[in-house]
Structure 1
Amino acid sequence: MSTPQLAIFDDQRGALGPMLDLRAVYDLRTGAVTTRHRIERAVGQPVSATISPDALTALTDAPTLADLNDGPVLLINGRWTGITQPHVVRDLPYNAALIQSDGQLIAAHVNRDDVRHLMAIRQWQAPANVNIQIAPEPMLIERPWHILDQLEKTLLDDLKASNVPVDNERGTRNPNAETRNLVQIANDSDIAPMVVFDTSRGPIVIDDGTQVHPFVSIEGPCYVGPNCVIGTHTSLRPNTVIGPQCKVSGEVAFSIFHSHSNKAHQGFVGHALIGQWCNLGADTNVSNLKNTYGPVRMQLSADTTPQNTGRTFLGPVLGDYVRTGIGTRLNTGAVVGTGAMIAHSGFSPKFVDRFTFLTDHVAQPYNMDKFINTARTAMARRETEMSASLESRLRAMARDRHVLRDTGA
């Protein structure tokens, strides 16, 4: 049988808070790269079709179901990050489906008509008359903290697959040369003097066009994406991902910056997920550990209750276009919705809904004309223009918001 075409779908079943307001689940950065890119690498071929929620189809130019040819299709859930049991998914026989023990579809190797039928009914279950295989362990992410649960594995897998050139003159040397971790630095990056690369715990990759200023400490495993700026005296601690075109200073640990976000001043960010086009004001600090050392709870939306994450270390989740004022303090396990502005002198609330302008005195809806103008200005600084479809999506989300009026912690 011919090699199947690869199709990835978003089943809209994971509760990932504001992270999916403006992107399908497979476009989340879940390590050095997005889930989509890791799935492509895991199965050894590019995506032929993506299936996204209706509200997001206008925001992407990715291939769709209409681009599939006749023949077999390997249909994969975008909540599989490509790291758990990759051989089981890659080698799934034709006319078979892989499901979790709870019935959720992970992957199916079927014909194009079966895929079209599943999309039409939006019931992402195993097609009828196929052989069912039960996955040996849970394989789909369900909550934001599951990305951090897998980060050590996904990041290491991504770094090992990097084609950025090796710099043999840098990094902490391991006495066993065969297992020595690597420092990989793109040829057109700019590394200032007095930068320390500590690879005793894992490799480090610095991608194209990035500037690393003097007196920076970078501990592997760590990835810094293309065209970033890492400011003087910054400390990037293990399991940190800085996505493309970010400006970062201060201390960052075990966190993912998706892309195009700024943390240009001092302050600590740990065990956090930072969206796209965010700007953290000077001395913005996050809490990632309760003073009781107990498990962190997280509220993912205005109409749900806090959930026990089971994690001792967990910082905030910030949606896209979030901005914080000088000296902002973000609570342990806080969730800040897309487009929110925090100008609050105390600890932020545990949940701030999308497009909320939060001060010490009030939490009120953001004026959307002002928000759009500010967002356009921020994007123009990166030579990016806001599309009409993105503006339409942002305005539609603002109409559906719920504003949290509790300004306590």
Structure 2
Amino acid sequence: MPDIVLFDDPILRVQLLPLTYTRPIAAIRCGIRTISQKWEEALQTTVSFQTETYLSSKFPAKISEDPLFINGALCPNAEIVQELNRLAPRSGLISEKNEILAVRTDVFWNAAKGVNGIDLATYTGNLTLIRNVWDIFSFNGAQIKADFERITASKSSLPISDPFTHCYNPDQIFIEEGAVIKASVLNAENGPIYIGCNAFIQEGSLIQGPFAIGESSVLAQGTKIRPNTTIGPFCKVGGEVSNCVFFGYSNKGHDGYLGNSVIGEWCNLGANTNNSNLKNDHSLVKLHSYFTNSLADTGLLFCGLIMGDFSKAGISTMFNTGSVVGVSVNVFGAGFQNKHIPSFSWGGAAEGITEYRFQKALEVAKDTVNRRGVTFGGAEEDILRNVFEETQLQR
């Protein structure tokens, strides 16, 4: 098999900001796994990334004499994998919208080069391509189901030993090694429930599938999980959560509502933080677009909060319907916050917003990471510095 390189489509990368300021597209989590993890499992191989230069030290590319470049926003399925296995050198696969899905070539290639000289075939089957930030939570339920089938196909679930936990449709509930569940209700009648290794479901939690919780994450006492929600690894989540994706290492440990939202890594939502996900007039939600620097129509009735990595919200913070918070933002204060808060901002709508000094933001980021036993090194510092400089004109 050729080396697999997951490339960032330059247009999609901008449409997926602020989440792609700090990661390649393929490192986005949708369903149980990140897109890159899905491809590794589907193809039974390791992958590498073709991304922005400042990200490449942390997410390097491994390009051999016979690489297969796959769009990093594309989620695998059996039909696509079959088509990719048929690709000959100097051939490619495009969507019916003329989006580049894959290119196999014996020369150096990137998406900016286009597909001149490549023998193209059009893929007309089922397709899940993450084109916009709201696609992440919109596609999440279906991706949980797809990942669940792949992950559990050749494995057996551990039994639930707690006598006070009640399960509906237990055949669609999978428990990994070390997970603990106490006095909770798990309802998998409308979709599977996946409990990752060493996860802890505390007393009184109510869970409706499709749902996934990653390694060593915790659901606090009395948490209400509504369908199509993913909690990535090493998170702590409480309150009421509906159709949300937490990438990993982020906390919403207290009461408060979060709906139709995407939360990056190393974020924290203070106690009683709430978001609106439905407008009072029931009109379609518009969301800040980094591609047009204006509001984009999502076409959705329900759309909540998109938050980039290392951002934090103070207690009782209120987010409007369709809010976007950039990277390393410290937002707090009374009233609803602005619908777009640029990266490295400090303050809130009522108090006013100033620039978050880079050195202070860096110290907080290092402490946030190191206290979890994870190394914050030079690559991570360079990424944040680059984002700070790239986003200065937004503040």
Fold match by TM threshold 0.5: yes
Counterpart secondary structure, 1:123: helix
CA distance in 1, matches of 2:202, 2:126: 44
Q: Is the 8 A contact 1:8 1:47 kept in 2?
A: no
In 1, the alpha carbon distance for the partners of 2:389 and 2:35 equals 30
Check 1:196–1:364 CA distance in 2 against 1; reply closer, same or farther (3 A cut). same
Partner of 2:8: 10
- How far has the Cα of 1:403 moved from its partner? 7.0
Alignment of 1:317-356 (within 5 A): 317-356=306-345
Q: Deviations over 1:292-311 (max 9, x none)?
A: 11111000339611010001
Match of 1:298 in 2: 287
1:177 maps to which residue?
Answer: none
Amino acid at match of 1:51: Q
Say which SS state the counterpart of residue 39 (structure 2) adopts: helix
Q: Distance in 2 between matches of 1:13 and 1:303?
A: 11
3-state secondary structure, aligned to 1:393? helix
Give 1:40-55 correspondences, 5 Å limit: 40-42=40-42, 44-55=43-54
Structure 2: gaps (5+ residues): none
Q: 2: CA distance between counterparts of 1:63 and 1:94?
A: 21
What is the distance in 2 between the residues matched to 1:342 and 1:106?
38
Question: 2:383 matched to which residue of 1?
Answer: 393
- How far apart in 2 are the matches of 1:299 and 1:311? 14
How many angstroms apart in 2 are the aligned matches of 1:288 and 1:84? 34
Q: Describe how 1:189-268 pairs up with structure 2 within 5 A.
A: 189-192=179-182, 194-268=183-257
- The 3 A distance-change label for structure 1 pair 162 and 64 is same
The equivalent position to 2:149 in structure 1, one of 160, 166, 169, is 160
Q: Which 4+ residue blocks in structure 1 deviate beyond 4 angstroms? A: 136-139, 167-171, 402-405
Map of 1:80 onto structure 2 = 74
> 105, 118, 130: which is aligned to 2:100?
105
Q: Aligned pairs, how many?
A: 385
Pick which of 371-380 and 216-225 moved more: 371-380
- Residue 358 of structure 1 and its aligned partner are, at CA, apart by 1.9
In structure 2, what is the Cα distance between the partners aligned to 1:129 and 1:165?
44
**Cα distance in structure 1, aligned partners of 2:215 and 2:358:** 31
TM-score (normalizing by structure 1)? 0.88
Q: Matches of 2:79 and 2:295 in 1, distance apart? A: 31
Displacement, 1:168? 5.1
Q: What SS does the aligned partner of 1:373 have?
A: helix
Instruction: Give the match's secondary structure for 1:390.
Output: helix
Give secondary structure in 2 for the equivalent of 1:188: coil
Partner of 2:115: 126
Note the residue ranges of structure 1 that are not aligned, 5 or more in a row: 175-179
| Higher mean displacement: 359-368 or 300-309 | 300-309
Separation of aligned partners in 2, 1:397 and 1:98: 33
Whether the aligned pair in 2 keeps the contact of 1:288 and 1:314 (CA below 8 Å) is yes
Write the distance in 2 (CA, Å) between the matches of 1:149 and 1:73.
31
Q: 1:31 aligns to what?
A: 31
Q: Partner letter of residue 229 of structure 2?
A: T
Judging changes above 3 Å, is the alpha-carbon distance between structure 1 residues 237 and 77 closer, same or farther for their aligned structure 2 residues? Answer: same
Give how far 1:402 is off. Answer: 4.4
Residue 58 of structure 2 is matched in structure 1 by: 59
**Aligned-residue offset at 1:248:** 0.6
Residues 165/251 of structure 1: CA separation in 2 closer, same or farther (3 Å cut): farther
Secondary structure of residue in 2 paired with 1:265: coil
SS at match of 1:13: helix
Who is 2:355 aligned against? 365
Q: TM-score, with normalisation over the residues of structure 2?
A: 0.90
